[in-house]
Amino acid sequence: MKTQYEKYYVPEQSHWPIVGAVALFLIAVGSGLAVMQTAKQQGGIGFYVLILGIAVLLYMLFGWFKNVIDESQGGLYSAQMDRSFRQGMAWFIFSEVMFFMAFFGALFYARTFAVPWLGGDSNNAMTNEVLWPSFEAVWPLLNTPGGDETKAMGWQGLPLINTIILLTSSITLHCAHTAMEHGKRTQLKTMLALTIALGAIFLVLQGEEYVHAYQDLGLTLDSGIYGNTFFLLTGFHGMHVTLGTILLFVVFVRILKGHFSEEKHFAFQAAAWYWHFVDVVWLCLFVFVYVL
């Protein structure tokens, strides 16, 4: 008996990847030049190249995704193709986890080793004595050895509200997923819209927190290792929330257009996975950056 196999769809030639490569080239050169020119406080073409690169990238994303969505709606994708997409997304999220690991690693190293050692811990009594004898190792590090001062960000106010918001959004998104699987489109739309709204509110509040940090606390990107880790961790998380919100919004528009079915909804699934991942990162942030 010969088993029948669904054909795996191998796309024809496509110009989108090379457009994407040019976009990344422009973004890399543009960012590089922009950073260099900002540091030297001189104008230059850097920002324009960067903006052009982002524009080309957006053009590529629209074109490529339109292509893929058309193919998907045209029924070209088999169950095996669906698995490829799912596995690809899962590994992409794993790579994102490792990216955050680098910054969490920096935070843990600074808290466990670098700062106590500067304060004379372990066998580093002379380090403290010779370099900065008056330095005291405490976390959060509000007075750096170099003499910068700042105030700590508490966890009770906005951060706690934001935690509740993101946790709620994960629940609403889960409800949306259940609705999708049972074909309840109205509930799906409501729950997804709610999730997107919660994501947007989170971002606004996070912006407010940054203003508070800069204006009231004097907590800035360059106020020592505490400020460094605080802003890079929450900043990269915020960028990921932004991306996740955009992904969910695109999926929402597709749902309004009547895309997806009970069984086939990879794009929804991918955006949902991404959202839950971003949520987990926030929980780690809340515990290790704010509370502890």
Partner 1 sequence: MTTIAESHHHHHAPTGIKRWLFTTNHKDIGTLYLLFALLMFLTGGAMALVIRAELFQPGLQFVEPHFFNQMTTVHGLIMVFGAVMPAFTGLANWMIPMMIGAPDMALPRMNNWSFWILPFAFFILLMSLFMEGGGPAFGWTFYAPLSTTYSNDNTALFVFAVHIMGISSIMGAINVIVTIVNMRAPGMTYMKLPLFVWTWLITAFLLIAVMPVLAGAVTMVLTDKYFGTDFFNAAGGGDPVMFQHIFWFFGHPEVYIMILPAFGVISTIIPTFSRKKLFGYASMVYATASIAFLSFIVWAHHMFTTGMPLAGELFFMYSTMLISVPTGVKVFNWVATMWRGSISFEVPMLFSIAFIVLFTLGGFSGLMLAITPVDFQYHDTYFVVAHFHYVLVTGAVFSIMAGAYYWLPKWTGNMYHIGLAKAHFWLSLISVNILFFPMHFVGLAGMPRRIPDYALQFADFNALISIGGFAFGLSQLLFVAVVYKCAKGGQKVPAKVWDGAEGLEWEVDSPAPYHTFSEPPEVK
Please, which of residues 203-232 interact with partner 1 by CB under 8 A? 221-222, 224-228, 232
Please state, in angstroms and rounded to a whole number, the distance separating the CA atoms of residues 108 and 281: 15
Please, what is the minimum distance in Å from the beta carbon of residue 2 to partner 1? 9
Please state, in angstroms and rounded to a whole number, the distance separating the CA atoms of residues 274 and 262: 20
Please state, in angstroms and rounded to a whole number, the distance separating the CA atoms of residues 208 and 248: 23
Within 58-97, which residues bind partner 1 (CB under 8 A)?
64, 80, 83-85, 87-88, 91-92, 94-96
Q: Is-contact 23 61, C-beta < 8 A? A: no
| Out of 101, 239, 253, 292, the residue judged to bind partner 1 by CB under 8 A | 101
Question: With CB under 8 A as the contact rule, which of the stretches 116-124, 238-246, 248-256, 266-274 interacts with partner 1?
Answer: 116-124
Question: With CB under 8 A as the contact rule, which of the stretches 13-21, 196-204, 239-247, 282-290 interacts with partner 1?
Answer: 13-21
Please state, in angstroms and rounded to a whole number, the distance separating the CA atoms of residues 71 and 11: 9
Note whether 22 binds partner 1 by CB under 8 A. yes
Within 122-141, which residues bind partner 1 (CB under 8 A)?
122-123, 131, 141
| Out of 55, 58, 76, 102, the residue judged to bind partner 1 by CB under 8 A | 102
| Out of 49, 56, 72, 103, the residue judged to bind partner 1 by CB under 8 A | 103
Phi, psi angles (nearest 5°) of residue 156: -75, -35
Within 163-202, which residues bind partner 1 (CB under 8 A)?
none
Cβ nearer to partner 1, comparing 91 with 257: 91
Cβ nearer to partner 1, comparing 150 with 245: 150
Please, what is the minimum distance in Å from the beta carbon of residue 12 to partner 1? 6
Please state, in angstroms and rounded to a whole number, the distance separating the CA atoms of residues 87 and 84: 5
| DSSP string over 58-104 | HHHHHHHHHHHHHHHHTT---HHHHHHHHHHHHHHHHHHHHHHHHHH
Phi, psi angles (nearest 5°) of residue 149: -120, 145
